[in-house]
Amino acid sequence: MKPRYLPVKGRDGLYRDSLSGAIVNKNTSEFEKYVANRDKMISDKQRIDNLEDKVDNLSSDISDIKNLLQSFVNNNK
């Protein structure tokens, strides 16, 4: 009987599933590194998106303050 997972030549930890033809990574430490890196990238993207939102809000607030000051100056002439 043919084994289900056959090693991929020249690629440690990678195996071909003889039933589906899929490549399977059985190197758990590499997979864990991948998941940690992916999670960090997602976290970094969320942080950047949050900072961009804050900058947009500050920009809008500054524009509102500028308009209020301009209105105040114009009304006191």
Q: How does pLDDT run along the chain (77 residues), one tens digit per residue? A: 889 999 999 998 999 999 999 999 999 998 899 999 999 999 999 999 999 999 999 999 999 999 999 999 998 87
Could you tell me the residue ranges of all domains in the chain?
5-75
Q: What are phi and psi of 34, to 5 degrees?
A: -60, -50
Residues forming a β-bridge with 16: 6, 23
